[in-house]
Amino acid sequence: MVYTVVDIAAILASDSKVVNDHVVEHLLLDSRKAFLPATSLFFALVSARRNGHDFIGELYQKGVRSFVVSQPVEAGVFCDANFIRVPDTVAALQRLAAYHRDRFSIPVIGITGSNGKTIVKEWLFQLLQPDYTIVRSPKSYNSQIGVPLSIWQLRSHHTLALFEAGISLPGEMQKLAAIIKPTIGVFTTIGDAHSEGFESQAEKEKEKRKLFAAAVLPRPLEVLTTKATTFGTAIKARLTSQPSVTSLGDTTADVLQIEIPFSDQASIQNAVRCWELLLHLGYQPGVIAERMRQLTSVDMRLTLKKGIHQCMLVNDSYSADNSSLQIALDFLSQQAGALRKTVILSDFLQQTEADTHLYEQVFESLQKRNVRRLIAIGPRIGQAVAKANLLYEVKTFSSTEAFLRTDLRQEFSKEAILIKGARPFAFERIVQALEQQVHESRLEIDLAALLHNLHQYQHRLGSSTRIMAMVKAFAYGSGAAEVASLLQFHKVDYLGVAYADEGVALRKAGITIPIMVMNPEEAAFEVLLANRLEPVIYSMAMLCQLDEWLQKELISGYPIHLEIDTGLHRLGLEHERAEEWIKQVVKTSSFTVQSIFSHLAASEDPQQDEFTLMQYDRFIRTAVVVEQQLGYTLVKHIANSAAAIRLSKLKLDMVRLGIGLYGVETTPGLSLLPVATLRSSIAQVRTLNAGETISYNRRTTLMRTSRIATVRLGYADGYPRALGNGVGKVLVGGQLVSIVGSICMDMFMIDVTDVSDVREGDEVILFGSALPVQQVATWATTIPYEILTGISERVKRVYFE
């Protein structure tokens, strides 16, 4: 099913002239993902933060030649480019997707609800995959732009479609319904999620059900009983008489039963929705029961791990299809930095005879993303490799077992490796074999939460305010290179580090955006220059030392930043002596001043606002003097995470985001998500009698017979000793339990007497979304900064998105 630029212009009812007609296979919304420019069509979307029209020049340089625009463009500058002019680019994207959807007459299952949409979609994919060639929404592509991109995947060989629809405001579902046009509807649940835009839950449910205006809903099941089993949960239910979620059960209906390998209530609800759909499609109870037992958990995360021989692993080992592969490749490109890229890929089990070009598309995608090596596992992909003329290294294996028999430690070194395979290939064994075996405790970094927090600040600050993200101190304990790669990918303007060696590590990891070094040292001048790092000048002595060194090296115009002391009294040029030190800057050609800034002493405290505003006034007066003497305008910044939200006039040209970016809210006003979760596990559980003492120095004496568990983490991992002897708590099985005895170097003990069925190997959460790091810091009489930055590097960091 082929579209050309001329075809699409006609579909969008645009009278724009096409000067360079070509086939369009890819709809592009993000300038960073122009991997197949020759067959891409870019929609210049306009949002509060970004204007897609600003990236047309960049995309043209990358080879894109066709654009859908709603604002004037100097077409003469792009002589062989096509510009399809429309009133609204989002509406045009939706119109094109609706036209594409109308060309198919296959069953289309539309899924909506407050929670569980993606899980239900992925489980239906698992359940129906043996009988259908399925197209489905990638991950959670269910928005006003996600749905059109999902629909665009439809091809002639598909025999069934699974599409999610999510809304946040009234009126949105009609647009999605017109695009998806579901023939069958699945309504998951109605709950509190995404309720902000609706007056009531009743209004939200009414809006969501508009997706099913022309769809058939399966007859609902009335759940009679659920019973925990050694396998999971046995569910008994019967079909109700009416196709309505709220209808009463038919007491004469036959009782049906399934068993699923899950026990939580959300999984039970999601499984019942899938069960209803399978009954609607005519599946026999025995087939349904067999497939339900085989359901696997849906890992919605792309996980980043450290591998052997300085490798980086991207684990996406639960499925193999082209749409999710593109997402995984984007994540690989985002995180790889300077490492060469390798992809380990299994057969695509959905391949049919009609889809002869599938592997050609896959191989082309790898080449466009500069993948250096492909390891192909499975007979189908092996046959496709044999027929292809590939420009990168390829190795083929008949099975996962055959690959694992090779000498893996000789095979891989200093690579970013994407591991992506269909479930039957059990690629989790490859992940285990390639993962660096270190401390069992781990600090999980949720990159999606980090990105959410960034967007929260961007939305509040507006498009005119630049952002410097602070990644000093190992990115507040989260891992500087990995965090910086994400921030660079999402076009943060600057990064800030404390010392030159932190900046060097980022450059080695492939970070190219500007990096400001807060505490440069004379011994590091050469390193600064070699790695394009921009030093902060905080004293006359530092100013003169750097000036003298640059003159000896015959270097002029080197970028620097001026730090002004307005009241913190830590580092900085004195604001009252600005006339004196600015003369030194002006009289030399060594420097180009990039920015001028100051640090606030108490921006998070409303009681200190008078002092904060005094600092601001001092800073502005100093900046005026400096700019007058230099003869050019500087980027000015004084606001940190708290001031950027509490005191809007302080945001100036740029703000420096630190602890807030990592989910620690120092002042109300944003909906931030915690980025870091510290997890460990239980090494041993024992029962001790009343009167026994725990740990060194015998500072805890048991008052009752107790179950005591030992946790694999201690103060050498950065966990504060102040939390010992009943001061701190951790989560086990969702329950808070007290720390007993002193914290040891590598472990500590907890009292799990009141938690049922605690076993060796059970997970322990030390902080995270369920136990905020702020609370842990309060117990330890310190601040969240110290807790986060103190977690030692021997604790494995695991990144996921």
- What mean pLDDT, rounded, does the chain reach? 90
C-beta of residue 305 within 8 angstroms of C-beta of residue 313: yes
Band of pLDDT at residue 335, cut at 50, 70 and 90: confident
Between these two residues, 349 and 737, which has the higher pLDDT value? 737
In tens, the pLDDT along 509-523 reads 889 999 999 999 999
Q: Where are the beta strands (DSSP E) in 113-175?
A: 134-136, 160-164
Q: How many CB atoms lie within 10 A of CB 801?
A: 21
- From 744, 739, 740, select the one nearest 767 (Cα to Cα): 739
Give me the phi and psi of 60, to 5 degrees please: -60, -40
In tens, the pLDDT along 84-133 reads 999 999 999 999 999 999 999 999 999 999 888 989 999 999 999 999 99
What is the sign of the dihedral through the CA atoms of 86, 87, 89 and 90? negative
The pLDDT score that the predictor gives to residue 352 is 52
| pLDDT for 754 beyond 90 | yes
* Residues recorded for the chain: 801
Residues 732 and 711: their CA atoms lie apart, in Å, by 11
Band of pLDDT at residue 757, cut at 50, 70 and 90: confident
The pLDDT score that the predictor gives to residue 249 is 39
In tens, the pLDDT along 140-177 reads 788 999 999 999 999 998 999 999 999 989 999 999 99
Terminal CA-to-CA distance of the chain, rounded, Å? 33
The pLDDT score that the predictor gives to residue 232 is 85
For residue 86 the two structure tokens come to 């429309």
The pLDDT score that the predictor gives to residue 250 is 41
């502005």: which residue's tokens?
620
In tens, the pLDDT along 641-700 reads 999 999 999 999 999 999 999 999 877 878 899 999 999 999 999 999 999 999 999 999
Q: How many CB atoms lie within 10 A of CB 326?
A: 20
The pLDDT score that the predictor gives to residue 715 is 96
In tens, the pLDDT along 278-319 reads 999 999 999 999 999 999 877 656 778 888 888 899 988 766
| pLDDT for 408 beyond 80 | no
C-beta of residue 96 within 8 angstroms of C-beta of residue 89: no
Residues 712 and 764: their CA atoms lie apart, in Å, by 9
Tell me the CA distances in angstroms from 620 to 564, 580, 650, 656, one per residue in order. Answer: 10, 17, 10, 17
| pLDDT for 790 beyond 80 | yes
For residue 633 the two structure tokens come to 């305008």
What is the sign of the dihedral through the CA atoms of 286, 287, 291 and 292? negative
Residues 591 and 653: their CA atoms lie apart, in Å, by 21
| pLDDT for 777 beyond 70 | yes
Encode 710-723 in three state secondary structure. Answer: EECCCHHHCCCHHH
- From 226, 169, 177, select the one nearest 199 (Cα to Cα): 169
User: Residue 533: exposed, middle, or buried by beta-carbon count in 10 A (0-12, 13-18, 19+)?
Assistant: buried
Three-class secondary structure of residue 737 per DSSP: strand
Residues 489 and 650: their CA atoms lie apart, in Å, by 27
For residue 579 the two structure tokens come to 């006339």
Residues 625 and 622: their CA atoms lie apart, in Å, by 5
Residues 30 and 50: their CA atoms lie apart, in Å, by 11
The pLDDT score that the predictor gives to residue 565 is 97
The pLDDT score that the predictor gives to residue 246 is 36
For residue 41 the two structure tokens come to 């069509």
| pLDDT for 344 beyond 50 | yes
């929670």: which residue's tokens?
115
Tell me the CA distances in angstroms from 431 to 307, 318, 427, 552, one per residue in order. Answer: 9, 11, 7, 52
């939580």: which residue's tokens?
264
Residues 725 and 698: their CA atoms lie apart, in Å, by 10
Mind telling me the catalytic residues?
A: 472, 696
C-beta of residue 352 within 8 angstroms of C-beta of residue 133: yes
Q: How many CB atoms lie within 10 A of CB 386?
A: 10
The pLDDT score that the predictor gives to residue 80 is 92
Mean per-residue pLDDT for 352-366? 75
Give me the phi and psi of 304, to 5 degrees please: -105, 125
Helix (H) or strand (E) holding 449: helix 447-461
Between these two residues, 685 and 197, which has the higher pLDDT value? 685
In tens, the pLDDT along 233-263 reads 999 999 886 544 333 334 445 799 999 988 7
Mean per-residue pLDDT for 483-494? 91
pTM: 0.68
Band of pLDDT at residue 56, cut at 50, 70 and 90: very high
What stretches of 532-640 show up as alpha helix (H) in DSSP?
540-552, 578-587, 609-630
Residues 729 and 731: their CA atoms lie apart, in Å, by 7
């592969």: which residue's tokens?
325
Mean per-residue pLDDT for 20-32? 92
DSSP count for the chain of H helices, then E strands: 26, 38
**What are all long-range contacts of 758-761, with beta carbons under 8 Å and residues at least 24 apart?**
758/682, 758/685, 758/707, 758/709, 758/732, 758/733, 759/682, 759/685, 760/682, 760/683, 760/684, 760/685, 761/681, 761/682
Which of 193-207, 402-416, 723-737 has maximum average pLDDT? 723-737
The percentage of the chain sitting over the pLDDT mark of 90, rounded to a whole number, equals 68
Quick one: CA torsion of 91, 97, 101, 103, rounded to 10 degrees?
Answer: 110
User: Residue 166: exposed, middle, or buried by beta-carbon count in 10 A (0-12, 13-18, 19+)?
Assistant: buried
């095979």: which residue's tokens?
411
Between these two residues, 325 and 619, which has the higher pLDDT value? 619
